[in-house]
Structures are given as structure tokens and as C-alpha cells.
Structure 1
């Protein structure tokens, strides 16, 4: 059976970097099996999900639409204004704790099954490569062959399709930020009319092409922090892809005829050292050397080994999903301090994220004091001036009314005397002047400004302070004025 042309992997160095620092280009062999089939269909479903989000309409907007230009962020029917971005901290925290909990239980299942990098690399770009250049043996032979017209044509065609796939992904990524109709109009317009978007698409396409055409597994090993911190998240009870040393060792080639006696067979394990698990690994490791940082849990080695075991009429599962404890013939404990703590943090993060999103209103409301003097004092009154900002986050006009609570008697309002109508995704900034007669003024006080929307179906409040001089100073000033008269 053919073996890879690069150095045989060991645990003393990273498998995708040679001793001189250069990068060997890996050509993982094709594999078939139950995990390969499941990963293929789940990858197609994920690709459809990733690429369909800009097309799916929820409440009149794409399911995921990060409208940076208008500072609106639409996430599955929830609209967040720029002032609501603090809520995403709780959402991201909840997702982070979810990943911690899943990793503690199932190892790097995210990397092997759902990571966009793995999904597009294994099921788009490597499919293109195999379609044009053949299987792993043919690809290695083509790489070592001298440059011919056939090799030149295959390489040009492959990289042209790489660029095309990268451009398609980039354009759909851009649609997350500007919407599909806007992307379509940009495509038909001259690059100079949308030079910033054109530059983004050009750079992003180039980055994706470089990553999927050459960098590949290095992203998981060198750049992605998740591969680095997994050692802090998993333990000996976590489910990982591993090799059953007790069953497989010592390794030995299968023998036939008279040499295949029970005595000889008893001296060797089930592993026949065919290196098939190494040949199919997308990061080039030997899983028989134990759990390694480079392993992304893609399960290719499981299918490859199971296929060999089936042909040899031996039990499958020499390489399998299991915990390090189970490989050592010990019991796997699913409930343990690590998983309990991560699950508790997951529940806290999910609860806080749910609460944070439940506080999102269809409008934003703010009251700020106008610049300049905090108050104006004249012969008749004490006056405070504010700016009221109302943002309508819906895609339909909305009517708002402004109310003032906890205000003392005699407080007069100038502005917002009637209801205001704000158009879809628009905002209104309007002054609000409050004044109180000098005779009724008793000193600074707090009050509440409320806006009611949809006829009172929801309300937003802001606490505001009415500023002015101390009442005793004001009375002293008035007495002084009377004395002068």
C-alpha cells in the first residue's frame, strides 16, 4: 500500500512543518464509511445554512443582517440598535460556555463537524482538487511530475475554481452586511462607485483563496486559539478520537498459510501497521501516538481503520470515539466537576443571554442635556434644556408619545406636546425644554421621562435631574433685589 512522500509523523514536532521550517503539502487519501457519510451530509446542510441566511426573511429583514451603515443589527427577527450591542456580550458568553461544555464532553467535535473552515475545506475545496487531479496517489504523482501541458492545465483549472469558490463565499459574506440586493447592484456597477466594498471583496477573496489553496490545516494548528486551549478543556473522560493500544499492540503484518498459526497470531495485535490512518488524516498525524493538538476530530482515521478491520475479518473499533479512561479499561465518568462547572456556567450564560435579549424593545430612547449652562435662570423661571432621541428599530412607521412623571407642580414643558410619528428605521432628535416658575422652585429634583409606543403597548423610561440653584440662594437673591428697590 502506498505511503505518503513526506516524513513519517512523530510527536516531537508539528506534523505540517519540516525541520527547516518549510510546509509540506498534504494530500489526504479518500475515505468512505459511516462517519464520512454523516459528515458529508451534515456539511452540506451547514453550507446551505451558512449561505442561505442572507436569503431568509424574518420580520422583513434577512435572518442575519449586520447593517453597519445604518447601525442596525438584525438577528433572527430581533433588531438591535448600536446602543444595544452590549447585549451581544451575554450572547457571546453563552455561546462560549456552550463550546466549553461540549468540548469537555465530546472533545473537538466542533472542529471536525461544524467549523466553517473544516466544512468548506473538506467538502468544497478538496472536492474540487480530487475532481480535477484525482485521488491522493495521483495528486502526489502530479506534484512530483515535471511541468507539462496537462499538469499546467489542471493546476490552472483547479486554482481558477478555487478563486471562483472564494469569490462566491466572499460575496455572500458581504451580503450579511449590505443585503443581497445591494450586493447585486454593486456587482453590476463600476468598482469605483463602491470602492470600499470592492476592496473588501478583493482582499477577502484573496485571503480565502490563500487559506484554502495553500495554508489549509495550518489555520487550525498555528492560528486558531481553540486548538491551543482544548488541552485545558478536555480531560481523560472526554470523548475523543483515539487508538486502542492494548488491542492494537504489538503491531504486525497479517500472515497467511502455515505461518498464520494461533501461536503467532497471539503475539501480535490487531494493528497491521498499514498506515492507512496516517494517509487519510488531513493534518498528517499518526493517531496511534496518542491524543495530539493537531487532531481536529474529523473521524477519517476511524472509517479507514474500520475498513481495514472489516477486510481482515477483525472487530471494528481499533480506532474509535472513546475516552482515554475507556481506552485504559476504566469507566468513563460523564458527570464530573469539570462538566458540572461548565454546565452551570452554560446555564448562567444562557439565562442571562435570554434575559438580555428579552429586554430588547422595538425602539431606543435617550435624553441628554444640551451643551452649555446646565440651567438658565431669568426673572420669571428656572429652565433646563434637553435633547430627546428616539430610534424606531422596526421596518414600519411608529407613533410615540412622551410623558413626564414625578414632576412637581408648575413644571411646564415645551416640545413633544403631541404624538410624534417616526418612519421605519429612522430616528428623531428634538429639543425638550422644561421650566418652573421662580416662585414654585424649591431646588433640584429628579423626575422620569417616558415614551409610549404602539398606543401604550410598550414603554421606555429615563431618569433625569432638573438642575438649578439652591433654593436658599435663590430666595436670598430675591430678598436682595427687593431690598434694593
Structure 2
């Protein structure tokens, strides 16, 4: 029986059959301007994802999230756990940018830059096409009886998938585990690094399941971005659409439109939709259908652009406005967020001072002296050892530190806790007041301070 693709409709998800079983999509290959640009950008992004842990900036990889030691290095900026509030500005900034991008260009992120699409289209599907052949050959192979040839092709494909999944798992893990530690673990017995071993195989198994079987289902069912696109785009957003005025009625006879109903746009769609049925949630904006239709129009000596990047208004013959209330609002939010983020990062310090009162009584009286006890935590966030000079500043005379060294050397990205005992003659005690612990590097380029309360009895009359 000749294998034929499934007929897509707007009312159902193509990848799910009526009985709830999975329908596998075999995407036909396509050539064209957008496909070439997308492949170049895809391989550039893959190189970027792979190279990030190898690019040193400030003594650390460009992106290294050292969760075990609660240190996070992001393009030369080193953060510790206490600085993670800054991550809010990074994440929210990326979110606003994504909203802004979607309001202008639809789901261009999904089709061009999302790691799911990048690795699936430019790695795993290329392997599948190389081993099993084009989309028609893949459907034939799926419906054929199990022969040695089919077993060999399927086995080889899934073996390569497993290797690639484990490789991507190692790349992903290198964002959280240093490359030397990962390299050592790869050359040791699994039980010597059981946690890493389980993580690699767990992540690898999830990736294999995703890229070998789940595939476009992730975009359609699991990814929330596809669900909220209807709230982010409007009739002026640039999306991929079909020019119904020009294409209808479909056919090849006299009086027919430019669409010859060849189904080429359906055959190349990675989510199995028919773009001629209008904008749909499953569309990821990959531009496969644009190149496929342009290729057909070129052969028929008709103008390109029957399926093209345009707004819904543009496809209907109306004006498209990129500058509109929605984009203005997103621009304002992005600018406000950028200003707040710049302010937040401008206040970032490569050293930190923390002070907490020791458990027990809030103060002690000894031979006419009021004594308070604290624990001072000094943090060096730089990638080099530094010496900190420490000073206690008080608004009242007579406050004297006991046991606190004038300077302390702290290793790179290290932390030191130092006992601080403060004494003040009871006759000089004016009542509770705040003092400041100041710390500075020996060169004076980095400073930090922290205030705390000095407590005692009611002042003497």
C-alpha cells in the first residue's frame, strides 16, 4: 500500500489520531533562502551552545552555574547565593524581550532559535534523513515488514540518537559542572561519581525520548509559549500566512488561483498543519512552507509570496503598523526594566559583608563594660585572592572592637567568618545605636559595609 500523509484540519492536532494514538510526521526536505538562513543560524547557535562552557571570561566559563557551591558566573559577572535577586532582572528582561519579539514577529523564536527546534531540525532529523532517506522513504520503511534491512536502519538510527543524546546531556551538564570535573568523571568508574553518572543518563534518556519520539509534541502540548502566543500577537504581527485572495480557488484549470493544491506546504511542515487554513497554534514560524511554496511558484513562473511572512492585515490587503499601542507598551516596559537592571548591576559589589548577632543574650555587662558579640561574614566574589581591611565606625566614642584583625586574606570566591566582640564603657553608653562594619580591599578599589545594632541597658542618669 502506498504510504500517504494524513490530512490536517484546524479542529484536531495532526500528530494525534482519533483513537488517541500517535501519528508520526515525516517532514519533507526543502530548499530556499529562509531554509539556508535558518540552517546557518541553527549551526551557529549549536556552536554557541557547545562553546559557552569553553570560553573563559574572568577566570570562569562564559556561562557556569555552579549550583553545588552556590556560585553563578554569567559572562564575567560572578554572583553568589545572596546576589540571586539580580537574576530576577535578567529573567524578566528576557521575558519582556520575548514578548516584544513575539508582538512584532510572531513565533520567530520557536522556529529559528529555540534549542528544541535547533537540535531537532538541524541534527536529529538530518541523521534520520541520511539513514532512512526522504520523507516518502521514511513512511515506506515505517509501514514495511521487519526485515534485516529495516532492523539495521532503525537500529543504526537509534544508536546514533543515543550517542547524540548523551553528547548533548554532557554539554548541558557542563553548564553546571566544571569541565575538569566532568572530564575526570568520564574517566572514572560510574560508582565513583554516581550522582553525575545518574544525571547524565537521566538527562540523556529524556533527550532521547524527546528527539526520537516526542519531537513536535513538545511544542504543541508541553511548551507554554505556544499557548500564550494568541495573547501576544495581533493582526499587525508579522507571521507566516497564506494569501487567500491570490490563491483561491485552488486548482490548475481556468479561473483557478495561484495555489495548485500540491500540498507541498503541508509536506514540509514540522508540526503537520496546513498553513492555508490560517494561523494556528501549532505553527512555529519555521518558514519551511514559505520556501516550499516559492519553489513551486518559481517552477510555474508565477510570483513568489503566495505563502509568506506578513501580518494578517497585510494578507487581507490592509496596512500593517509595527508601531502600535502593544509594541509601545512592551518598549516602555523593556526600557524601564533595562534602566532598573542597569541600576541594580551598577550597585553590584565584588565583595560582601554580613553581620549577625550570636545566639544568647543580646548584650552582657562585665566590670562596667557593655559587651555585644557578632559573627561577621566576609565574601570575596572575585576570581583572585584578596586582602580585606576591616574597620568599625561608630557615631559615639568609646566603642572598641576586640579580637578583630585589621586585615584578612580571603581566597578567590571564598568566604571567611570572623568573631567580632564590641565593648563600650557603661558610663558612655547612650542607649541602643547603630554602628557600621566597613571592609575594603587593600588597593581600595572595592568596598562594602553593613550596619548592625549595639544594644545595652538603659543609659545611666
The two structures have a TM-score, normalised by structure 1, of 0.93
Aligned residues, how many?
461
Distance 1:143 1:37 in 2: 29
**Could you give the per-residue CA deviations for residues 146-184 of structure 1, whole angstroms, max 9, x where no partner exists?**
000010000110001001111011111111111111111
CA contact (8 A) 1:398 1:453 kept: yes
CA contact (8 A) 1:400 1:420 kept: yes
| Runs ≥4 residues deviating over 3 A | none
Q: Aligned runs of 1:74-473 on 2, under 5 Å?
A: 74-253=73-252, 255=253, 264=254, 267-471=255-459
Structure with greater Cα Rg:
1
CA contact (8 A) 2:375 2:417 kept: yes
Distance 2:181 2:446 in 1: 33
Shift of 1:439: 1.1
CA contact (8 A) 1:81 1:393 kept: yes
Distance 1:418 1:395 in 2: 23
Helix, strand or coil for the counterpart of 1:53? helix
**Could you give the per-residue CA deviations for residues 37-85 of structure 1, whole angstroms, max 9, x where no partner exists?**
0000000000000000010000111101111122111111000011101
- In the alignment, is residue 40 of structure 1 matched against residue 44 of structure 2? no
- Which residue of 2 is the match for residue 478 of structure 1? none
Deviating more after overlay: 345-354 vs 438-447: 345-354
Distance 1:445 1:3 in 2: 88
Distance 1:415 1:230 in 2: 61
CA contact (8 A) 1:91 1:350 kept: no
Shift of 1:354: 2.3
CA contact (8 A) 1:73 1:80 kept: yes
Shift of 1:447: 1.7
**Could you give the per-residue CA deviations for residues 276-299 of structure 1, whole angstroms, max 9, x where no partner exists?**
000000000000000000000000
Distance 1:386 1:227 in 2: 52
CA contact (8 A) 2:351 2:446 kept: no
CA contact (8 A) 2:391 2:406 kept: no
CA contact (8 A) 2:356 2:374 kept: yes
CA contact (8 A) 1:380 1:438 kept: yes
Shift of 1:3: 9.6
Distance 1:357 1:126 in 2: 42
Shift of 1:355: 2.2
Shift of 1:468: 1.2
Shift of 1:401: 1.0
Shift of 1:395: 2.1
CA contact (8 A) 2:8 2:273 kept: yes
Distance 2:406 2:306 in 1: 77
Distance 1:370 1:9 in 2: 69
Return closer, same or farther for 1:48/1:454 CA change in 2, 3 Å cut-off.
farther
Distance 1:159 1:413 in 2: 68
Which runs of 5 or more structure 1 residues have no equivalent in the other structure? 256-263, 476-485
Helix, strand or coil for the counterpart of 1:178? coil
CA contact (8 A) 2:384 2:411 kept: yes
CA contact (8 A) 1:446 1:464 kept: yes
Which runs of 5 or more structure 2 residues have no equivalent in the other structure? none
CA contact (8 A) 1:239 1:322 kept: yes
Helix, strand or coil for the counterpart of 1:386? strand
Helix, strand or coil for the counterpart of 2:391? strand
**Could you give the per-residue CA deviations for residues 378-437 of structure 1, whole angstroms, max 9, x where no partner exists?**
232111111000111222110101122233111111133321111112110011111100
CA contact (8 A) 2:67 2:176 kept: yes
